Amino acid sequence: MALYRKLRINGDRLNHTIQSTCTSWGLLANSTGMRRLALSQEDKEVRDWLVEQCKAVGCDVKVDQMGNIFATRPGQSKDKRPIAMGSHLDTQPAGGRYDGILGVTAALEVLRTLHENDIQTHCPISLIDWTNEEGARFPGAMMCSGVWSTKSATGLEACYAIKDADGISMKKALEHIGYLGDTPCDCRENGLECYFELHIEQGPKLEAAGKRVGVVTGVQAMKWYAIRVSGVEGHSGTTPMNTRSDALVTASLMIAAVRDIAMSTRLGFATVGVITNDTQSQATIPSGVEFIIDVRCSTDKIVEDLYLAIFISLDKIVQQENNSTRYRVVRTWGLPESTFHDDCIGVVRSAAVDEVGLTEIMDMTSNAGHDASVRAISLHHISRAPIFTSREHVSCSRYSLHFLKGTVHVANPLKWASKVVKTSMIFVPSEGGISHNPSEYTSPEDCALGAQVLLQAVIRYDEVVKSGEIS
C-alpha cells in the first residue's frame, strides 16, 4: 500500500495528451477552442484513438447500445465490478479543451500509470467515455449516462429516435461512426462498483477561495422547459401594427423576463440558449417561435419556485399582449438535485489530503450537471431519477426533446427506485470561472493535480474494498 502511495501520474504526458488530441480532432476554426459534436467525424476519430490507447495498457473495451465506451483493466478479484473513472469527449459547438476532456484523458493517464508500474488492483478499473453529455447536437444533456442509469428500454428507444438539426437520428449517427455497440446500456447488466469523475469546476468558487481541489458533495438541480409561442402569420408591410399576433415579439418579451426574474429573485440560474422561428422570412410576421429555458438552483424546491415566478411572468406578458399570442409548455427535461455518496466523498477527501498532501481543498456542490450526477441520483433520491415518458410531437421545431422529468408526475415513483452506483467528483479550478467557451482554461499543474487525486481515490477505494471496509 505504501508503494501505491508513491505512484505519480505523469503530468506532462497528461497535458500533452489533452493538447494534442484537441488539436487533432475538433479544433474550432480561427480559435484554440473546440467543436467536437457528439458522434461527429471528430468524435469518431478521438474515440478510435482512445480505444487504441486503452488496449495498449491492457484494457478490454466494450461499447454499449448508446455508444458509451467501457475500457476495463482487469483486477485480481473475479467477483468485483469495476471501480470506474470517466467523463465525456464531446464538446459544445464552441467549447473549450477541458470540459469532459480532462476527465477522460486523466482516467487514461491513471490507467497508463497503473500499467507502467505493473500495479495489480483488487477490483477491475474502468475508463468510461459517455456519449453526448453536452446534448449540443442531439438535445438532452447527459443523455447516454442517463439511459445507462435509468434502466429503461423506452429510454433507449426514445434516445435512438432523437434527431439533430439535419434530421439525422442518434441511432443512425451511432451506426455511421461504428459505435452502436451490443453491450446492454443498463447499469444492472453492466454495473460498476463506484464512479469517480474529475472535472473542471466551470465556475469561480475555487479560484475565488484560493483552493486547488474541490471535493464535490452533490450537484444542483436543473430543469428545462421548451416554450412554444403561437401567433398568426401576416405581411410585414400591410398588417397594421396594432392587430398583429407576432410570436417573436411575445417570445422576446418572455426571454428577457426569464433573465430578469432570475436576477431579481436571486434563486438561481435561468438561461435561454436555443430559439427557433418557424417561418424565418423577412417579410412575414412570425407565427411560431420555440425556445428552451434552462433553470438551475441548489435544490429541486428552488427550481420549482423559480419556474413558478417565470410562468407567472409569462402569463402576464400574454395578457399584456392582449392575448394576441398563446404559449404552451411543450416538454421538459430535468435532473433533480443529487447528493453524492459518503463513501466516495470520503475517499476523494482522504486521497487529496492524506495521499496527495493537499491543504487547499474545499467541499462544494456543482452548479453544472455531469454524467456523475446522473449516476448518483437513484441512490439517495427515491422517485427522483430522470425518466422517459411519452413523446409529444412538435411538428415545426428543429429541436425535439424526448425527455420528461418524473419528479412530480410519476404515478408510482417507487418503481423507479433502486441503487445505481456510488459516486463522487473531483473539481479543479476554471480560470475566471469561464466554460462552454473557447477560452476555457485550467493550468497544466491543476490538471495534473486533479489526475493525481483521481489516481489516489481509485487506489484507496480499491484498498478499502479489498479490506472489506466497503462492501
**Contact set for a copy of itself, span 203-262 (CB under 8 A):** 203-204, 220, 222, 224, 232-242, 246, 248-249, 251-253, 255-256, 259, 262
Cα–Cα distances in angstroms (integers) from residue 338 to residues 172, 301, 438, in the given order:
32, 13, 29
Could you give the CA distance from residue 215 to residue 426 in angstroms, rounded to a whole number? Answer: 5
Considering the complex, state which of residue 42 and residue 278 has its C-beta at the smaller distance from a copy of itself.
278
* Among 389, 437, 463, 464, contact with a copy of itself (rule: CB under 8 A): 437
Residues with Cβ within 8 Å of residue 64, at least 6 apart in sequence: 70, 148, 181, 182, 183, 184, 185, 190
* H/E stretch holding 281: none
Interface with a copy of itself includes 269 (CB under 8 A)? yes
Report how far residue 49's alpha carbon sits from residue 57's, in angstroms, rounded to the nearest whole number: 13
- For residue 136, the minimal CB distance to a copy of itself (Å) is 4
Find the shortest distance in angstroms from Cβ 32 to a copy of itself: 14
C-alpha–C-alpha distance, residues 336 and 242, integer Å:
43
The dihedral of CA 168, 170, 176, 177: what is its sign?
positive
Residue 5 has which C-alpha cell?
Answer: 502511495
Minimal distance, residue 77 CB to a copy of itself, in Å = 38
**324: which 3 cell numbers?**
394576441
Q: Which of 2, 3, 282, 471 is in the footprint of a copy of itself by CB under 8 A?
A: 282
In angstroms, give the least distance from the CB of 283 to a copy of itself. Answer: 6
Q: Which is nearer to a copy of itself, 42 or 246 (CB)?
A: 246
- Give the residue among 457, 456, 447, 363 at the shortest CA–CA distance from 103: 447
Tally of CB atoms within 10 A around 38: 26
- From the list 9-17, 284-292, 344-352, 441-449, the region that binds a copy of itself by CB under 8 A is 284-292
Q: Which is nearer to a copy of itself, 298 or 418 (CB)?
A: 298
Q: Which of 103, 214, 286, 334 binds a copy of itself (CB under 8 A)?
A: 286
Pairing of strands 125-129, 69-73: antiparallel
Pick 259 or 409: Cβ nearer a copy of itself: 259
Q: Which of 149, 367, 407, 452 binds a copy of itself (CB under 8 A)?
A: 367
Compute the least distance from the CB of residue 190 to a copy of itself, in Å.
27
Nearer to a copy of itself, 113 or 131 (CB): 131
C-alpha 413/C-alpha 194 separation (Å) is: 24
Nearer to a copy of itself, 99 or 193 (CB): 99
Site for a copy of itself in 83-122 (CB under 8 A): 92-95, 99
**Which residue of 169, 284, 339, 365 would you call a contact of a copy of itself, by CB under 8 A?**
284
Distance from C-alpha of 316 to C-alpha of 264, rounded to nearest angstrom: 17
Residues 130-159 that bind a copy of itself (CB under 8 A): 134-136, 139, 141
Contact between 385 and 147 (Cβ < 8 Å): no
Count of Cβ atoms closer than 10 Å to residue 298 Cβ: 16
